[in-house]
Amino acid sequence: MVGAIVEFATLPLVEFPFESNYVRSIVYVSLYVSLTAVLLSTLVSLPVAMLVGFAEFPGRRLAIALINTGMGLPSVVVGLAVLFLVSNQGPLGTFDLVFTKEAMIMSQFVLATPVITGVSLAAVTGVDEGVRDASYALGGTRLDVALVTIKEARYGIATGVLAGLGRAISEVGSVLIVGGNIAGADGTAITRTLTTAIQLEARQGRFELALVLGAILLVLVLLVNAVVLRLGGGRI
């Protein structure tokens, strides 16, 4: 599903001035990995934010501290940890995930989840208690109250998802470690993303291409911002 959307979104790049297939495949890998990671992060982050925000349980403060700490996780450390997990000796070694997009998704998931959870936590706990009371008083179940809370906090949550996407798509260290920055023999990217390609092209002195890739990265982030701004009716 994500793959099909990304493929459609990158169609206009077919006529790119140089090495169009190479650039197009890099954009595809970047978007596929980051959007999948952020989608999975969001699915985990929202229930966690609701749980930590509203449930009383031992260790709640510790959980908040861990989320806040996770926002500043060094990406190379995450890359190392994921590499250990997916390496032949690691617990996920049997799945043969080293230097795959799936491993890159895992590392970006780890990086994006604390950001989305932390910002969503602030957003949902900022929802007026009276609105939650109203949902309950009107016959809502606990799930209905939670849904109302998420809906009321939607702009804050969207900001969190955007921040998570920004963290994921602009990240270099961990995807380089677990992905390996690989391009196939035909010149199409396999685990090469915009950031790792920029790093490689700059090192090889192909500054023009590096700058173009950088511009694409910026445009993508701007596009996502514009979409979220539009959805939020300009309130973000």
Q: Which stretch binds other proteins (CB under 8 A): 61-69, 129-137, 161-169, 193-201?
A: 129-137
Q: Which of 104, 152, 159, 181 binds other proteins (CB under 8 A)?
A: 152
Q: Which of 18, 144, 182, 227 binds other proteins (CB under 8 A)?
A: 144
- Six token digits for residue 102: 């799936």
Pick from 173, 220, 163, 161: which is nearest to 26 by CA?
220
Q: Which stretch binds other proteins (CB under 8 A): 54-62, 131-139, 171-179, 180-188?
A: 131-139
- Six token digits for residue 172: 């270099």
What is the C-alpha to C-alpha distance for residues 33 and 105, in angstroms, rounded to an integer? 5
What is the C-alpha to C-alpha distance for residues 1 and 61, in angstroms, rounded to an integer? 37
Q: For residues 147 and 183, which CB has a smaller minimum distance to other proteins in the complex? A: 147
What is the C-alpha to C-alpha distance for residues 162 and 177, in angstroms, rounded to an integer? 24
Listed in order, strand segments (DSSP E) in the chain are none
Q: For residues 20 and 141, which CB has a smaller minimum distance to other proteins in the complex? A: 141
What is the C-alpha to C-alpha distance for residues 50 and 60, in angstroms, rounded to an integer? 12
Pick from 115, 111, 116: which is nearest to 157 by CA?
116
First to last CA, the chain: 28
Q: Which of 130, 185, 186, 203 binds other proteins (CB under 8 A)?
A: 130
Q: For residues 90 and 232, which CB has a smaller minimum distance to other proteins in the complex? A: 232
Is there binding between residue 140 and other proteins (CB under 8 A)?
yes
Q: How far is the CB of 140 from other proteins (least distance, A)?
A: 5
Q: For residues 139 and 205, which CB has a smaller minimum distance to other proteins in the complex? A: 139
* Buried b / exposed e along 14-25 (16+ C-beta atoms within 10 A): eebeeeeebbbb
Q: Which of 77, 134, 182, 219 binds other proteins (CB under 8 A)?
A: 134
Is there binding between residue 151 and other proteins (CB under 8 A)?
yes
Q: How far is the CB of 8 from other proteins (least distance, A)?
A: 21
Place of tokens 């250990």: 84
Q: Which of 7, 96, 133, 208 binds other proteins (CB under 8 A)?
A: 133
Is there binding between residue 231 and other proteins (CB under 8 A)?
no
Residues that bind other proteins (CB under 8 A): 128, 130-131, 133-141, 144, 148, 151-152
